[in-house]
Amino acid sequence: MATDKYVKNGPGGIGMATYKEIYGAWRADPEAFWLRAAGAVDWFDRPTRALDDRRKPFYDWFTDGVANTCWNAVDRHVAAGAGDRTALIHESPVTGSSAEISYAELQERVARLGGALEARGVKAGDRVLIYMPMIPEAVVAMLACARIGAIHSVVFGGFAANELAVRIDDAKPKAVLSASCGVEPSRMVPYKPLLDGAIAMAKHKPKFCIVKQRAQLAAELDPERDVDWDAAVADAPFSECAQLKGSHPLYILYTSGTTGAPKGVVRSSGGHMVALAWSMANIYDIGAGDVFWAASDVGWVVGHSYIVYAPLIVGATTILFEGKPVGTPDAAIYWRICSQRRVKALFTAPTALRAIKREDSEGRLPAGFDLSTLRTLFLAGERADPDSIAWAERALGVPVIDHWWQTETGWAIAANPVGIELLPVKHGSPAVPMPGYDVAILDETGTPAPVGTLGSIAIRLPLPPGCLPTLWNADERFRKSYLSTYPGYYETGDAGMADEDGYIYVMARTDDVINVAGHRLSTGAMEEVLASHPDVAECAVIGAADALKGQQPVGFLCLNAGCDRPHDAVAAECVALVRERIGPVAAFKTAIVVARLPKTRSGKVLRGVMARIADGAEPRAPATIDDPAVLDEIGAALGRAGLGEMA
């Protein structure tokens, strides 16, 4: 599926029609490649060079260029006469409401909020913390900060007060933008008490808070510190777009591990705009007027890149979804919205797809909707198992594209570039490296591993535009966390392999590669087998400590809705399946049926936490866990199997 319109005239347009030619052009002259790609962005002062390597290994891009992200995402479309085009669609099945906002209306809202911030002393370089649910004001808040040059730090709405306090102390925001509540399918989440508690705990005290009062639950405002959102913007001046260097930080996004303080990933504005514009055209095949839906949250990197910035930069219509893939009201909500809103490309997490598949194992629901505009389903966030991809392909009749990236990179490391050409889809692989990413599979000595051999996935420096140049106020931590293991490379923390065609297979986090009697085995490969069982909706494999073999694999199985077969029978079949397809070397003997898996709110399965429970250690669940009660269920299941702290 070649798309000459975008390849030749869009971001990175170099008059070539194949992925290999475009990737080869980047390899041959990275500087020229990215300077051409920068032509998709409006600059006050166009950059004269792409890569700035004066502080290596702290690389940055387009540092002598001057631009503004909000101008590129909003104002330039209005200036070009597209102000009436829909910029943002808010779909909120949890409140039973929906709304459309044009580019002109978005510009008005953003400029007024920017003016309200400036009137209270916020200037370029100041930090603003955003703690909001999935409502249009969250998008407005991010763009308003980008407009005036404030550095925003979005924290997932409903985060616990102590975790919010940690981020306040690290970012030291001058202001906080928040809302009175979040709305979940079965409850309200009052944000204001959490925010008040966090500010009370934090050593740093924000100067003021602007709070959007939602109709579902009003908050009590502190007259000394808090300002009502609507009142603040009602008479605010119309702020202008600040002229900012390409190296100016657009935002800080904190990653949450299971141990240690969160890391503040920094995103420079110039490279971020160029990379996202290139990716929308060449990876997602999305341009002006197309409807794009990233079913994620603005608190995560997907929300930053592909709900807010990338679709708006290219003049598309983006969907902001306040709901769940099942239960709001049912497992057909994705297909209903895709049909009603004429969505061209949907981007969601594999865990969401598996939740839908669990309720609709036959894949019958999509047939009830007109999905004629849907061209592609993209998956990212966690490894997409081949069985779920095959299910979606059958149900939707469109390419289902797994692609791989990280909070740190901000856009895809490996993908199938639909906007250039649709490469053959290989189940289990996010396809091939994108321009800018020189991917290597390294063994424990740092030597490139043979084709088809499991190793650590690393990226040769420099990282491309859009990736983090460092961590917030933590250069040495950045070096130690990502650059020290393999000199000259960025360590992704993922393990995998490459095949003879250059396709990457991301099998597990490096910590999830287990050692069974001296054999290094991928938990992802075992999960692939388990997921192929017709009764299994979702699964996870961990390595539990074993006195004889070092580690033993343990599988957790969530069964399809309506499956009434004996759990022991399904588990036994799954054990036999792994031993048949991977072999006795896997030493796979234990499969446990559970109702659900512990996950972060973004859908990542907490395999490391489960492994610690299996080893009888303190779980140390991260603040991002969706429901801590699941850990008790996992502990009880392990106990029944003779493992873990309850054994």
For every residue of 299-345, DSSP letters joined together read TSHHIIIIIIIHHHHTT-EEEEE-S-SSSSS-TTHHHHHHHHTT-SE
**Count of CB atoms situated within 10 Å of the CB of 246:** 27
Q: What's the pLDDT at 7?
A: 30
Closest CA to 583 of 511, 517, 526, 520: 526
SS3 (DSSP) at 547: coil
**Count of CB atoms situated within 10 Å of the CB of 452:** 11
Question: pLDDT tens, 463-488?
Answer: 999 999 999 999 999 999 999 999 99
Q: What end-to-end distance do the CA atoms of the chain give, in Å?
A: 55
Output b/e per residue, 302-323; b: 16+ Cβ within 10 A.
bbbbbbbbbbbbbbbbbbbbbb
d(CA 632, CA 613): 9
Fold category of 517-640 in CATH: GMP Synthetase; Chain A, domain 3 (3.30.300)
Are 128 and 177 in contact, with CB atoms under 8 Å apart? Answer: yes
| Radius of gyration of the chain measured on its C-alpha atoms | 24
Q: What's the pLDDT at 10?
A: 39
Where the chain has pLDDT below 50, the residues are: 1-15, 257-259, 646-647
d(CA 616, CA 639): 10
What is the token pair recorded at 328?
């709001």
Q: What's the pLDDT at 587?
A: 84
Per the omega criterion (within 30 degrees of 0), is the bond before 133 cis?
no
Are 290 and 317 in contact, with CB atoms under 8 Å apart? Answer: yes
Architecture category of domain 4-199+206-323+403-498 in CATH: 3-Layer(aba) Sandwich (3.40)
CA angle 589, 591, 592 (to 5 degrees): 145
What's the half-sphere exposure (Cβ side, CA atoms, 13 Å) at 587?
Answer: 18
Give the predicted TM-score (pTM) of the model. 0.86
Helix 607-614 / helix 629-640 crossing angle, nearest 10 deg? 40
d(CA 149, CA 69): 9
Are 119 and 113 in contact, with CB atoms under 8 Å apart? Answer: no
Q: What's the pLDDT at 260?
A: 59
**Count of CB atoms situated within 10 Å of the CB of 622:** 19
Are 315 and 82 in contact, with CB atoms under 8 Å apart? Answer: yes
> Per this entry, what is the length of the chain?
647
Are 594 and 633 in contact, with CB atoms under 8 Å apart? Answer: yes
Q: What's the pLDDT at 519?
A: 66
**Count of CB atoms situated within 10 Å of the CB of 256:** 21
Give just the sign of the alpha carbon dihedral 210, 215, 219, 222. Answer: positive
Closest CA to 198 of 153, 237, 240, 232: 153
- How deeply is 478 buried, as exposed, middle or buried, from its count of CB atoms within 10 A (0-12, 13-18, 19+)? buried
SS3 (DSSP) at 542: strand
d(CA 490, CA 479): 9
Q: What's the pLDDT at 234?
A: 97
- How deeply is 18 buried, as exposed, middle or buried, from its count of CB atoms within 10 A (0-12, 13-18, 19+)? middle
Output b/e per residue, 52-79; b: 16+ Cβ within 10 A.
beeeebbbbbbbebbbbbbbbbbbbbbe
Are 72 and 42 in contact, with CB atoms under 8 Å apart? Answer: yes
Closest CA to 641 of 551, 571, 550: 571
d(CA 350, CA 597): 14
Q: What's the pLDDT at 518?
A: 60
Domain ranges of the chain: 4-199+206-323+403-498, 517-640
